[in-house]
Amino acid sequence: MTFKTNFMNNRRDFNKTAIAATVGTAVMPTNLFDNFGGNSIRAFGVQLFTFMFQMGKDPKGTLKRVAELGYTEIESAFSGNEGFYGMATKDFKAYIADLGIQWRSHHVLGAPFKLPEGMEMPKNADGSDLVIPKTLNLKENMQQLVDQVAESGVSYAVCSSIPVDTIEETKHAIEILNRSHEAFKKVGVELGFHNHKWEFVDNNGQKPYDLLLSETELVMELDVAWSIQGGADPIALIDANPGRFPLWHVKDFAEDGETVVSVGTGKIDYEEIFKHAEKAGLKQFYVEHDMPKDGFESIATSHAHLSKFI
């Protein structure tokens, strides 16, 4: 399977220089967008949740910096502002196109946000409480979200979270997702599901993630790090469900297993995991860092590490 990149060599050279300058002594390899393991991986992407607050205050400046750091694909996330980060859809599309950025997918909530049982709300990088803004969700605003995503022109809408604390909640989630899947299909958009760790919690012999795999036809956006923290083996998941994971989230955890860190500075062996990209059906991966102190430094560090083998 071959995936084409669509930017010019002079932009590639500029991006390598920008990243190297940001991370200091990083040496950029020549195979940044070449074939890996017999499969050509699409250009580097970033999930904009990494810049949740910057995108709320200065979306244009943030996106410009992201492009300068070598990222040519984005996955958008929910925003407390109207439209897409305070911009009308056509204006957002035009701006990122001028930056050479492709907009591949968008995160949507499955239902009103509910913190899973036993979980505490994560803190912002400055130690303040994280506040999730009220936003549209598939349970209450499905058609509005379908129309919004269709106008954006992205290929994938991805459910970023939905309550699955109990088997009853999981079955209700599956009903919502299957209904939404059919609605998105009508406008030519694939609906996917993004995991955290709690979908892998055993509940009376059943795991929500297993039910989501078996009782929906959704594509799965594999958050590699969260799956590992939930006790799953991402390679085993891929082997058992080939072609089901066209989208990945790529972040790392420190040795304590709790602290999110830049890729390559933690304990996850991404070089080994990326060897299974073709079997997974990988089309796009997104670097992500939840609540980083310096998101730009983090994605530059992650880019430099991943570029050694992608």
Q: Note the pLDDT of residue 8.
A: 36
pLDDT, one tens digit per residue, over 102-145 is 999 999 999 986 665 655 656 655 667 666 666 899 999 999 99
State which amino acid sits at residue 226: W
Q: Note the pLDDT of residue 113.
A: 65
Instruction: For residue 82, give every residue at least 6 positions away whose Cβ sits within 8 Å of its Cβ, in sequence order, or none.
Output: none
Helix (H) or strand (E) holding 104: strand 102-109
Please list the ranges in the chain whose pLDDT falls under 50. Answer: 1-40
Q: Note the pLDDT of residue 121.
A: 58
For residue 228, give the nearest of 209, 204, 203 by alpha carbon. 209
Domains defined for the chain, CATH in brackets? 9-24+33-306 (3.20.20.150)
Distance CA 6, CA 4 (A): 6
For residue 244, give the nearest of 286, 281, 207, 208 by alpha carbon. 281
